[in-house]
Each structure stands twice: as structure tokens, then as C-alpha cells.
Structure 1
Amino acid sequence: MLRFVDIIADLGLPYFMIDAGWYGLEHERTSNPLTAISEIDLPMLIQRAKETNVGLWLYVKRVAFDEYDIDILLSKYK
């Protein structure tokens, strides 16, 4: 994903979307969008995006909002 952020920056595009799976299986109610899976170092990815002036969009499946508060989620990733 770091490579993709760099490519997006090189192309001059404003955003990179991290699609389904970054916080677990998208259809599972136990997948917690407040924590990324262990294979993704989200703080490092966010830092690289900031350094290269690329915004990040984090995909979150609607089912997650049945279990997790949207205001907490948006506040965390703001």
C-alpha cells in the first residue's frame, strides 16, 4: 500500500482508497473498523500519505456501524 500511495502522489492524484479487508472480513460483525489488520501498519501508511500530500479514504462496510459508533470511527481517522 505504501507503493500505491507513492504512485498516487507521482501521478498527482489527490486520494487513495483502501478498500474492503483493511480491518477484517467486511461482512463479519466482529471485524473492528477501529483497528487495522496486523498486515497493515495504518499509522505508517497515514504518515506516508501526509508526507506525499495524498488523502486516504478508508472503506467501511455498513454492517460495521451496527456494532461500532460512526462518530467514534470518523473522529479517530480524522
Structure 2
Amino acid sequence: MDKELQLQKFGKKIKEIRESKGLTQAQVAHKIDKDRESIARLERGAVNPTYLYLLEICVGLEITMEELMKLTTTEN
């Protein structure tokens, strides 16, 4: 498994979800008390997020962890 590629795909999907909700990186970051660059790194696949960080992202995107996992694993 190419871990770097998987993180990039995951980040791209998070970006798609964010954009579909009409949110900017700054808005998501503000909702979860992070900086915009943190969200940008996640969307680029430059970080391997922890479970707790993913929970925060779900809060910012107003989705459940179950929805996030389903949305990010349905595409190969």
C-alpha cells in the first residue's frame, strides 16, 4: 500500500466535502480552533491525522465520523 498516495486521496476527499458545504479552509479551522494551514496540510495529504483530529474535522465539516469514513473509503 502506498501510504503517501492514500493520505493524498483522503485529503482530497476532505477538501471535496468542505467545498461541497461551501466552507473555506479558514472557516473550518476557526470552527475547530486550528489554523488554516493545518487544514491545508490535511487536504494535501501532508499529515496522517490522529483519531482526535479527525473527530475535530468532523465537527468542522458538520458530519459524523461514520459519514467521513464512508465517504472517503467508497472511492478506490
| Higher Rg of the two aligned structures | 1
Do the two structures share a fold, i.e. TM-score over 0.5?
no
- Of Structure 1 and Structure 2, which has the larger fraction of its residues in helix? 2
TM-score of the pair, normalised by structure 1 = 0.30
